[in-house]
Chains A and B, each alone.
Chain A
Amino acid sequence: MREYLLYIKVSGGAAQAHITPCFQVDQAFWREREGAQLYVIGKSKSLALAFSLRGELNNALGDHAFTEKSVDSYRALASAHVREATVLYGKQAAGMTPIEKEWLSLESVGGSGEQADTLPLSPSSKDTLEDTDELKRESERLLAWMSGRALLWDEVGVLLNKKGWAPRSLEYCFQWMILSGKAERRPGIEWRIRRSWLRHRMLFTCARCGSEQTIVLTRCHSCRQGCAYCTECLDMGRSKCCTPYFCVPRQKASQAYEAVSPGKLCERTVNRGFTGERMAGTSYERRAALLDWQGTYSPMQKMAAEKARQFVASDRPGLGEFLLWAVCGAGKTELLFPSVAETLRAGGQVLIATPRKDVVLELAPRIAKVFPNARVIAVHGSSTEKWEDSDITIATTHQVMRFYHRFPLVVLDEVDAFPYHNNPVLYRVVSRAVQPGGKILYLSATPPRYLQKRLVPKRAQSHMHSRTHVLLPGRYHGSPLPVPLVCTVRGLHKHLSAGRSVQALLETLAASLDGGRQVFVFVPRVDQVPVVLGYLQRRLPGYSQAMAGVHAADPEREEKVRLFRAKQLLVMVTTTILERGVTIPRSDVIVVGTEAPVFDEASLVQIAGRVGRSSDAPSGTVLFIEEYRTSASRAAIRQINRMNQLAASLQQAGGQS
C-alpha cells in the first residue's frame, strides 16, 4: 500500500506544495539544489486526495507569502479540506460503509515544523538516500522508455517487463523524473469540489479518458479510502483514485522538430512537386523520410496532397486541424504520403489512427512498403509490437489513449465512423497524443456536420480548399461517382416476408448477375439478413448457391468476406458492417429498406461509394429500395451529384488551363 506525503518546499521566498511516495528521494533532490526547506503537511493513502490538497495549498501559497509561522495554518487548511471532502463523499456514496473510520483521512506525520534533515520519515524509508548518481542514470533510462506515453502504474509494469528491465525502485525513478519536471504523476481519477448555493458536490474526472459521467464510487481495498473508478476506459485497465497515472511528454523529438526550420523545408519541397519521385539523397534529410512510391497522382489528387502537406509544414500558430474531404475511392491513403514524409523529415513521428483493427492490419504493410527506411508498427489490442518505438505508428483508436504529447502529426482516418462519431472521449484522447503545437489531419468521405462547421469556412464552401480543409470531389480514375436510383415500394417488408415479387429488386439483381458482376445487398437489421437471403434464394434459384448473409456477430464473417472477394460468392446480404473498407472491383449495390434510421446520409454515401472503385470498371448500379420516401436518401443523392458537378467543373478548368 502506497502512502503519499504532502509537503511544502520553500526556497528563496517561493513556496510550493509537492506530493511524494518516497520522501528520501525528494530530500536528496532538494539537498542537491541547496537551501530548500521542506515542511511536511501530512500523508494520505489516496493519491486523489493528496492531489486535490496540493492544488488547494498551491492556491493558498500563491495568495500569501510563506512564513515559518503559517505552516500550522496550512495544516489547518488541509484538514478542513479533508473534512469537507469526507462529508461530501459520504453523501455521494450513500448506502456504502467506509472500510476505515472515515472515507478520507490525512494523517499527520511525526513532529511539526522541523526541517528536512531532521524530519522523521514515512515508515518505509528508514535509510536516507546516499547515492543519487545511480538513481539519475536509472531515471534517464526510464524516461527514454516512457517518453511520449501516458500509462497507469500496472501498464508501466507491463512495459518494463516487455523491455526486460527492472530498476531498483521504480517509484524512486519516477519521483526523480517528476521533480526534474520531465513527467507528471496524476491520480487515475481526479476530483474537485464544486461549491454552489444549492449544494456542494464532488466532481470526479478520469485523468485518462476525461469522462465525468461514467465514474463509479467504490470501497477500495487497495487504498482503504473512498475511491472511484472509470467505467468508460475500463477495458484498458482500471483507472482509480489511488492508481498513479504517469504522463511523460516526448522529450527529444520536440526539440529536434523545432530545430529544423520548417520554412526552408517548405520552400524547397514546393518547388519539387510530389509526383512520386524519390526524396532521398540530400544530406540533412532524414533517412526515415525516404518515400519509395512509384504511383502518380491525378491533377486533383496532386492539389489535395499538396494542400495537406502545406498544412503540415506550416508553422503558423493556432492552425492545428485540417480536414481532408475526399470522396469514396479518391485514394485517400496515397494523399497522405507527402504529409507523412514531411513530418518524418523534420524528425517527428507520425500516428495514423483508424477505427478498426482490420484496417490497421491492412494499412501497416502498405505504409511500410512505401517508407522502406521508416520503422512502422501496427498497434492494436492483441499486437505484439505495442511497446516498440517507431517512426510511423498505425493504431486503433483505443490504443491512442496510451500516448501523450508524442506526435507532431496525427492522422485520423474515417472520423465519421463508429467509434469517433459523437464520442468526445476519443477526440480528447487523440488531441492529447499530439505534441503541443502539433497537427491533426482528419480524413473522411462524409465528414460529420460539426467537423464541417468547424473546418469548412462558410464563404469557402464553393471553393475546393481553404486554410483548414481541402475537398477532393472526384475519384482517382476521373469517372464520376455512380448516382443512386431510388425506387419506392409500398409494403416492401411485407412483400419480402410473404415471398411476393419485388420487381425492381429482382430485375436489377438478375441484370447485374447476368452481367457477371457481384452484388452487395444491404439491409438495416441483423434479423432481416436471413429473410432477404431466403427470399432471394427462392426467387433466383440459379444463383442460390452463390449467395450468403453476414452480420457483425457472424462467426464465419471473415471467411464469407474472403469468399466474396475471391468471387466464390456473388451476392452478399449484409448489415452496415461492410459499408466501409471492402473493395470489390466489379460490383453493384442494392439497399433494401433505405427508410430505416441506420441508413443516414453519410452511411448511404459510403454504401454508394462501394461501386465503381477500380479504374477498369468505373461505373455501376446503385439502387435504393425504400418503403416510403426519406430525406436521407435524397440528401445522399444530392451530395453525390454535387461532388460530381464539382469534379466536372474542376476537370474542365484543368482541361482549359
Chain B
Amino acid sequence: MSGAACVSCGGIVSGRRREELVGRWSRALSRPATYPRIYRLVDSLPLCSSCLAEWQVIGTLICECCGRDMVNQVRNGEKMYQSPIGADFSQQERRVCKDCLAVQEKGNSLLRNRGLLPYDECGKAMLSRFKYRGDERMAAFFSALLAIEYYRSYHSAGFSCLSEVPLHESRLSDRGFNQMELVADGLSKRIGIPYIPLLKRSKQTAKLSQQRGKREREENMRGAFTCMYTGSQIGGIIRKQVREVLIVDDIYTTGSTLRACAAAIREALGHTCQVSALTCFR
C-alpha cells in the first residue's frame, strides 16, 4: 500500500512508523490463528501512520445483539440486560443494550450485528466520498474493514452465503452503482464465502436524512425487501443447506433496514435460517 494517498487525510501511506502501528492493531484485533490474515488486511488499508494512530475501533465490551460499543454507556451507569438470544435459537443468555431488549420483545429476525468502526466525522466523510461522490475505488477499503471484522467476530460461524442490502432500482440508476454490491463482492473474495444477491428492494423509502424517528423508520422499512429466490436452488447451493446467512451494509443506525432484510430472508428460506449482519460503521 506504500505510496498511495491516505483515504482519510490525503497524506502519503508509507514509513516505518506505520509498520509498527499495523502490527499493534493486528495484535489487538486478532487471535493467534487469525493474526497473519488480519495483519495483511490492516496493512492493505490505505491509511497513513498518523490516521492509524488515531484510529478508533469498537472494543470488546459491546451489546451482543447489535454490536454497539457499550464502554461509554456502562461508564455512565447504563445497565446491560440479560436476554435470550432469539425466540427460536438456543436458550443461551447474552448481554444486550436497552434498545435491543425492546426489539427482542417484539420479535427480532436479525440474530446479531457487528461493526468495526464507530460512525464519527471521519467515517462520515469517507462514506460520503464513496457513496455520493462515487469513488468506487473505496470499495476495496470498505471490504477490507468488513473482512477484519469478520475474522474478529464471525470466524467460527458457518455462513453459507453472504448478501448485500440492495438499492431501489430508481436510486440505483441515479447513482449508477450499488456501493454495497461492490463491497460484498470484494468481501466474498477475501473471506471465501459465496456472494449471492438474495434480496430486491420492492418499496422505495425516503432518504435516511429525511426520515424522522425510530418508529417511523421501522414502519417505513417493513416489507421494503423481498427475496428473489423461491425455488430449491439458491445460486448453486441447495436451499435446505442454507442455515446461516450474512448480510452486509455500510452502517447500522437503528437497525430497521437490516431487520427488514433479515425478515425477508427468513420469510423465504424458512425460520430455521439465521441471519447475521456485518457493517462497516456502528
Is B136 a contact partner of A229 (Cβ separation < 8 A)?
Answer: yes
Q: Does A240 contact B (CB under 8 A)?
A: yes
- Chain B residues contacting A222 (CB-CB under 8 Å) are 173-176
- In angstroms, Cα B175 to Cα A439, docked, is 39
- In angstroms, Cα B182 to Cα A221, docked, is 12
- In angstroms, Cα B160 to Cα A228, docked, is 33
Chain A stretch 595-616: residues in CB contact (< 8 A) with chain B: none
Contact with A along B123-155 (1 / 0, CB 8 A): 000000000011111000000000000000000
Closest CB of chain B to A189's CB: distance in Å? Answer: 12
Q: Does A216 contact B (CB under 8 A)?
A: yes
- In angstroms, Cα B137 to Cα A231, docked, is 9
Given contacts A221-B178, A553-B9, contact A1 B133 (CB under 8 A): no
Closest CB of chain B to A226's CB: distance in Å? Answer: 13
Contact with A along B230-250 (1 / 0, CB 8 A): 000000000000000000000
Contact with B along A45-80 (1 / 0, CB 8 A): 000000000000000000000000000000000000
Q: Does B177 contact A (CB under 8 A)?
A: yes
A residues sitting closer than 8 Å to B (CB atoms) are 1, 216, 218-222, 227, 229, 231, 234-235, 238, 240, 242, 553
Is B177 a contact partner of A218 (Cβ separation < 8 A)?
Answer: yes
Is B176 a contact partner of A240 (Cβ separation < 8 A)?
Answer: yes
- In angstroms, Cα B177 to Cα A222, docked, is 8
Is B174 a contact partner of A229 (Cβ separation < 8 A)?
Answer: no
Q: Using a Cβ–Cβ cut-off of 8 Å, how many residues does chain B contribute to the interface with A?
A: 13
Is B133 a contact partner of A234 (Cβ separation < 8 A)?
Answer: yes
Closest CB of chain A to B241's CB: distance in Å? Answer: 25
B residues sitting closer than 8 Å to A (CB atoms) are 9, 133-137, 172-178
Closest CB of chain A to B281's CB: distance in Å? Answer: 22
Q: Which 7 A-B pairs have the closest CB atoms?
A: A222-B176, A238-B134, A221-B172, A220-B176, A222-B173, A221-B176, A221-B173
- In angstroms, Cα B9 to Cα A222, docked, is 31
Is A219 a contact partner of B135 (Cβ separation < 8 A)?
Answer: no
Is A235 a contact partner of B133 (Cβ separation < 8 A)?
Answer: yes
Closest CB of chain A to B246's CB: distance in Å? Answer: 22
- In angstroms, Cα B178 to Cα A427, docked, is 34
Closest CB of chain B to A536's CB: distance in Å? Answer: 23
Is B173 a contact partner of A1 (Cβ separation < 8 A)?
Answer: yes
Closest CB of chain B to A96's CB: distance in Å? Answer: 10
- In angstroms, Cα B5 to Cα A234, docked, is 15
Closest CB of chain B to A509's CB: distance in Å? Answer: 29
- Chain B residues contacting A1 (CB-CB under 8 Å) are 173
- In angstroms, Cα B137 to Cα A216, docked, is 9
Closest CB of chain B to A249's CB: distance in Å? Answer: 28
- In angstroms, Cα B177 to Cα A45, docked, is 16
- In angstroms, Cα B209 to Cα A338, docked, is 51
- Chain A residues contacting B172 (CB-CB under 8 Å) are 221
- Chain B residues contacting A235 (CB-CB under 8 Å) are 133
Closest CB of chain B to A351's CB: distance in Å? Answer: 26
- Chain A residues contacting B174 (CB-CB under 8 Å) are 222
Interface residue from B9, B134, B173, B175 paired with A234 (Cβ < 8 Å): B134
- In angstroms, Cα B134 to Cα A229, docked, is 9
- Chain B residues contacting A221 (CB-CB under 8 Å) are 172-173, 175-178
- In angstroms, Cα B176 to Cα A80, docked, is 28
Is A220 a contact partner of B177 (Cβ separation < 8 A)?
Answer: yes
- In angstroms, Cα B276 to Cα A409, docked, is 61
Is B177 a contact partner of A234 (Cβ separation < 8 A)?
Answer: no
Is B176 a contact partner of A231 (Cβ separation < 8 A)?
Answer: no
- In angstroms, Cα B134 to Cα A235, docked, is 9
Is A231 a contact partner of B135 (Cβ separation < 8 A)?
Answer: yes
Closest CB of chain B to A622's CB: distance in Å? Answer: 30
Known: A219-B177, A222-B175, A234-B133. 11 other contacts (CB 8 A): A216-B136, A216-B137, A218-B136, A221-B172, A221-B175, A221-B177, A222-B173, A222-B174, A229-B136, A234-B134, A235-B133
Interface residue from A220, A227, A234, A242 paired with B135 (Cβ < 8 Å): A234
20 A-B pairs with C-beta separation under 8 A: A216-B137, A218-B136, A218-B177, A220-B176, A221-B172, A221-B173, A221-B175, A221-B178, A222-B173, A222-B174, A222-B176, A229-B134, A229-B136, A231-B135, A231-B137, A234-B134, A238-B134, A238-B176, A240-B176, A242-B176
- Chain A residues contacting B178 (CB-CB under 8 Å) are 221
- In angstroms, Cα B243 to Cα A570, docked, is 69
Closest CB of chain B to A218's CB: distance in Å? Answer: 6
- In angstroms, Cα B136 to Cα A218, docked, is 8
- Chain A residues contacting B177 (CB-CB under 8 Å) are 218-221
- Chain A residues contacting B133 (CB-CB under 8 Å) are 234-235, 238
Is A227 a contact partner of B9 (Cβ separation < 8 A)?
Answer: no
Residue of A222, A235, A242 with highest tally of chain B CB at under 10 A:
A222
Chain A residue at smallest Cβ distance from B167: A221
- Chain B residues contacting A240 (CB-CB under 8 Å) are 176
Chain A residue at smallest Cβ distance from B136: A218
- Chain A residues contacting B134 (CB-CB under 8 Å) are 229, 234, 238
Chain B residue at smallest Cβ distance from A239: B134
Chain B residue at smallest Cβ distance from A219: B177
- In angstroms, Cα B138 to Cα A218, docked, is 13
Chain A residue at smallest Cβ distance from B177: A221
- In angstroms, Cα B137 to Cα A229, docked, is 11
Closest CB of chain A to B20's CB: distance in Å? Answer: 15
- Chain A residues contacting B173 (CB-CB under 8 Å) are 1, 221-222
- In angstroms, Cα B133 to Cα A242, docked, is 16
Is A227 a contact partner of B176 (Cβ separation < 8 A)?
Answer: yes
Chain A residue at smallest Cβ distance from B133: A234
Closest CB of chain A to B109's CB: distance in Å? Answer: 28
- In angstroms, Cα B176 to Cα A220, docked, is 5
Chain B residue at smallest Cβ distance from A238: B134
- In angstroms, Cα B177 to Cα A66, docked, is 42
Residue of A221, A235, A553 with highest tally of chain B CB at under 10 A:
A221
Chain A residue at smallest Cβ distance from B171: A221
Chain A residue at smallest Cβ distance from B173: A222
- Chain B residues contacting A553 (CB-CB under 8 Å) are 9
- Chain A residues contacting B176 (CB-CB under 8 Å) are 218, 220-222, 227, 238, 240, 242
Closest CB of chain A to B201's CB: distance in Å? Answer: 13
- In angstroms, Cα B65 to Cα A165, docked, is 50
Closest CB of chain B to A233's CB: distance in Å? Answer: 11
- Chain A residues contacting B9 (CB-CB under 8 Å) are 553
- In angstroms, Cα B174 to Cα A242, docked, is 11
Closest CB of chain A to B47's CB: distance in Å? Answer: 14
Closest CB of chain B to A244's CB: distance in Å? Answer: 14
- In angstroms, Cα B175 to Cα A240, docked, is 11
- In angstroms, Cα B133 to Cα A227, docked, is 16
- Chain B residues contacting A234 (CB-CB under 8 Å) are 133-135
- Chain B residues contacting A227 (CB-CB under 8 Å) are 176
Residue of B137, B173, B176, B177 with highest tally of chain A CB at under 10 A:
B176
- Chain A residues contacting B136 (CB-CB under 8 Å) are 216, 218, 229
- In angstroms, Cα B155 to Cα A251, docked, is 65
- In angstroms, Cα B4 to Cα A231, docked, is 14
- In angstroms, Cα B252 to Cα A271, docked, is 73
Closest CB of chain B to A227's CB: distance in Å? Answer: 7
Closest CB of chain A to B74's CB: distance in Å? Answer: 30
Chain A residue at smallest Cβ distance from B11: A553
Closest CB of chain B to A311's CB: distance in Å? Answer: 38
- Chain B residues contacting A220 (CB-CB under 8 Å) are 176-177
- Chain B residues contacting A216 (CB-CB under 8 Å) are 136-137
Closest CB of chain A to B199's CB: distance in Å? Answer: 16
- Chain B residues contacting A219 (CB-CB under 8 Å) are 177
Closest CB of chain B to A242's CB: distance in Å? Answer: 8
Closest CB of chain A to B179's CB: distance in Å? Answer: 11
- In angstroms, Cα B172 to Cα A220, docked, is 9
Closest CB of chain B to A220's CB: distance in Å? Answer: 5
Closest CB of chain B to A602's CB: distance in Å? Answer: 21
- In angstroms, Cα B172 to Cα A221, docked, is 6
Closest CB of chain A to B200's CB: distance in Å? Answer: 14
Closest CB of chain B to A399's CB: distance in Å? Answer: 17
- In angstroms, Cα B174 to Cα A505, docked, is 60
Chain B residue at smallest Cβ distance from A229: B134
- In angstroms, Cα B134 to Cα A220, docked, is 11
- In angstroms, Cα B136 to Cα A629, docked, is 46
